Structure 1
Amino acid sequence: MNVLIIYAHPSQKSFTYQIFNRLLEGLKKAKHTIEISDLYQMNFQSNMSEEEYEREGLANTDLPIPDDVLKEHAKIEKADCIIFLYPLWWSDVPAILKGWFDRVYSVGYAYGYDKDGNKIQAMKQIPLGLSVCTAGHSNAYLHEIGIAQSMEKIMLDDRMGKKFTHKEFIILGGTTEIEKVKEQHLNRSYEMGLGLEEMLHQNGIKSKE
C-alpha cells in the first residue's frame, strides 16, 4: 500500500516524534511504500498568498496553483492511505497543518462547482485516512469537556469528509503523565502501521496493491 504521512511537529525531542518513528517501524515491517510530508522540515508555507486567495475566494481557476501545492497534490494522487500525525494545540492542529488544508485543498481540486452548478473535485477518493494526534490531557478529560468530539467532527466531517472511503480519528492522550501511557501509545502506533491492510479489509475496502 502507498502511505502518505502528513507530519506536523517542530521538535525531534517530542513524544510525537517518538510516535512518528514507531509508526514508521510498523509501516516498514508491513512493507508499505512510504512518502512523508514533514511540514516543519519542509518549511511548508502555511499562509495563503493574495493571489491564492483570489483563486480560492473568487474561484478564479485560471490563476495558477503554486508549485509546492502541486507537489502535495501529486503525493495525494499516489496514496492509498493518508495519515495526519500532529499534536493537539489549543483545541486544534498546529497552524502549519491548518495551512496545509487551506492551501492544498484548492478550488477545482478538492472542491468547487462549475458554471452550471456541478461539483468539481479532481482529487481522487483515498481508501483510508487516519487523523492521529497526541495530547497532554487524557482522552477521558478531552471527551468530558467536548474538545475530542469537536476535533473529531472537524477532522472527519470537514477536512477529510468524502475524500476518504474510511477514516478514523485517534487521540493518544495523557502525555503530561508520559510514563503511564508511553509504552501503550508507542505499541499502538507500531500496530497501527502494521495493521493498515487489516483495517481496510475489516471495512470491506481493497487497496490497489
Structure 2
Amino acid sequence: MNILIIYAHPSNKSFTYKVLQILLKALNMSSHQVEVSDLYKMKFQSDMTEEEYEREGFAKTELPLSEDVIAEHRKIDWADCIVFLYPVWWSDCPAKMKGWFDRVYSAGYAYGYSQNGEKAMKMKHIKLGLVICTAGHPNDFLEETGIAGSMRNVMLDDRLGVRFEKKEMMILGGTLELEKVANSHLEKIMNLGMNMDKFCDTF
C-alpha cells in the first residue's frame, strides 16, 4: 500500500517525533511504500498569498497553482492511505498543518462546483484517512470536555470529509505524564504499522 504521512512538529526531541519513527519502522517492516511530507522540515508555506486567495475565495481556477501545492497533489494522487500526524495545540493541529489544508485543498482539486451546480473535484477518493495526534491531557478529559468530539468533527467530518472512504482518529493522550503512557502509545503505533492492511479492513 502507498502511504503518505503529513507530519507537523518543529522538534525532533518531541514524543510526536518518536511516534513518527516507530510508525515508519513498522510500515517499512511491513513492506509498504511510504512518503513523508515533514511540513516544518520542508519549510512549507502555511499562509495563503493574496493571489491564492483570489483563486480560492473567488473560484478563479484559471489562476495557476504554486509548485509546492502541485507537489503535494502528486503525493495525494499516489497515495492509498494518508496519515496526518501532529500534536494537539489549543484543541487543533499546528498552524503548519492547518495551512496545508488551506493551500493544498485547492478549488477544483479538493472541492468546488461546476457551472451546472454539480460537485467538481479532481482529488481521488483515498481508501483510508488516519489522524494520529499526541495530546498532553488524558483521553478521558478530552472526551468529557467535548474537545475530542470537536477535533473529530473538524478533522474527520470536514477536512477529510467525503474525500476518504474510511476515516479514523487515534488520540495518544496523557503525555504531560509521558513516563506513564509512552510505552503503551508506542506499542499501539507499532501494532498499527505492522497491521495496517488489517486495520483498513476493520472499519
- TM-score normalised by length of structure 1: 0.96
Helix, strand or coil: the match of 2:61?
A: coil
2:73 is matched with: 73
Tell me which residue corresponds to 1:18.
18
Partner in structure 2 of residue 115 of structure 1: 115
Find the residue that maps to 1:41 and give its secondary structure.
Answer: coil
SS at match of 1:42: coil
2 CA distance for matches of 1:126 and 1:193?
A: 18
Name the counterpart of 2:87: 87
Structure 1 stretches of 4+ moved >4 Å: none
Alignment partner, residue 64 of structure 2:
64
2:64 is aligned with what amino acid?
P
Distance in structure 2 (CA, Å) of the matches to 1:132 and 1:152 = 11
Identity %: 58
Distance between the aligned counterparts of 1:138 and 1:171, measured in 2?
Answer: 9
1:152 Cα deviation after fit: 0.5
Aligned residue identity for 2:157: D
Structure 2 distance, partners of 1:44, 1:195, is 31
How far apart in 2 are the matches of 1:24 and 1:53? 35
Counterpart in the other structure of 2:169 = 169
Deviation at 1:40, TM superposition (A): 0.1
- Aligned twin of 1:98: 98
Match of 1:52 in 2: 52
Partner of 1:30: 30
Asked if residue 187 in structure 1 is aligned to residue 187 in structure 2, the reply is yes
Q: CA-to-partner distance for each residue in 1:120-162, whole Å, 9 max, x for gaps?
A: 1100000011000000000000111110000001000000001
- In structure 1, what is the Cα distance between the partners aligned to 2:117 and 2:34? 37
Task: Quote the residue 1:125 is aligned against.
Answer: 125
How far does residue 196 in structure 1 lie from its aligned partner after superposition? 1.1
2-side partners of 1:42 and 1:192: how far apart? 26
| Corresponding pairs, count | 203
Residue in structure 2 matched with residue 154 of structure 1 by the alignment: 154
Q: What secondary structure sits across from 1:17 in the alignment?
A: helix
Q: Distance in 2 between matches of 1:51 and 1:195?
A: 43
Please state whether the residue corresponding to 1:109 is helix, strand or coil.
coil
- How much does 1:202 deviate? 2.8
Distance in 2, matches of 1:14 and 1:202, equals 30
Q: Which runs of 5+ in 1 are unaligned?
A: 204-209
Q: Name the SS for the 1:6 alignment partner.
A: strand
The equivalent residue for 1:143 is 143
CA distance in structure 1 between the aligned counterparts of 2:135 and 2:153, rounded to whole angstroms? 17
What SS does the corresponding residue of 1:4 show, helix, strand or coil? Answer: strand
Amino acid at match of 1:132: I
How many Å apart are 1:115 and its aligned residue? 1.4
Instruction: Work out the CA distance in 1 between the residues paired with 2:202 and 2:168.
Output: 13
Q: Per-residue deviation at 1:39?
A: 0.1
Matching residue's letter, 1:67: E
Counterpart amino acid of 1:82? I
- Aligned-residue CA RMSD (Å): 0.6
Letter in 2 for 1:73: H
Q: What is residue 198 of structure 1 aligned with on the other side?
A: 198
Q: Displacement of 1:21 after TM fit? A: 0.4
* Structure 2 letter corresponding to 1:24: L
Secondary structure in structure 1 of the residue aligned to 2:28: helix
CA–CA distance in structure 2, aligned partners of residues 31 and 113 of structure 1 = 39
